[in-house]
């Protein structure tokens, strides 16, 4: 198993917090790739969810506790998300393919495309199984494992 894929509702909320529940996100350094996600302010799109993230920006790094704070305080709207987790002492670098993921210190990849389509890759098989069961329990649609046989993704970036 490489990971899982599923669909979340196209709505604002705290979906990243929900998706990452049960994973100790604070123990990692997170590479935030190009994306488009906004905090909801007065029922409309407000400031970017991630710091120094103008539209289609280059990447930034966040400590796990800072990421947790960003995704747990306010509701937000996710359009494109590209999160990659590295241990705090590892070599953080660009990961654009599954082969690069396997050969790198990156442990976890979370991608969201077009507000709803979630793809998660993890090196830890227990994490994959945990997230699969959680996605099913949350009623997310089209939940399935990603394997060597069915993985059609050519890049590990949101866009």
Task: Enter the pTM of the model.
Answer: 0.92
The residue ranges of every structural domain in the chain are 3-146
In Å, how far from its chain's centre is CA 122?
11
pLDDT in tens, 56-87: 545 689 999 999 999 999 999 999 999 999 99
Distance CA 143, CA 119 (A): 10
| Cross-strand partners of 45 | 40
Distance CA 32, CA 38 (A): 14
Could you tell me if 87 and 106 are in contact, meaning their C-beta atoms sit under 8 angstroms apart? no
pLDDT in tens, 94-147: 999 999 999 999 999 999 999 999 999 999 999 999 999 999 999 999 999 999
pLDDT in tens, 21-64: 989 999 999 999 888 999 999 999 999 998 764 455 456 899 99
Q: Residue 118: its pLDDT value, please?
A: 98
Q: Specify the 3-state DSSP secondary structure of 146.
A: strand
């Amino acid at each position: 198993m490489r990971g899982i894929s599923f669909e979340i509702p196209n709505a604002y909320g705290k979906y990243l917090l929900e998706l990452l529940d049960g994973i100790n996100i604070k123990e990692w350094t997170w590479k935030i790739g190009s994306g488009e996600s906004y905090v909801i302010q007065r029922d409309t799109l407000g400031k970017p969810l991630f710091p120094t993230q103008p539209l289609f920006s280059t990447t930034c790094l966040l400590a796990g506790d800072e990421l947790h704070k960003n995704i747990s305080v306010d509701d937000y709207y996710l359009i494109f998300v590209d999160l990659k987790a590295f241990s705090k002492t590892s070599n953080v670098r660009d990961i654009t393919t599954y082969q690069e993921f396997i050969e790198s210190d990156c442990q976890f990849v979370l991608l969201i495309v077009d507000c709803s389509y979630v793809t998660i890759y993890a090196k830890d098989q227990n994490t994959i199984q945990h997230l699969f069961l959680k996605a099913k329990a949350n009623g997310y649609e089209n939940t399935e494992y990603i394997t060597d046989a069915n993985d059609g993704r050519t890049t590990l970036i949101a866009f």
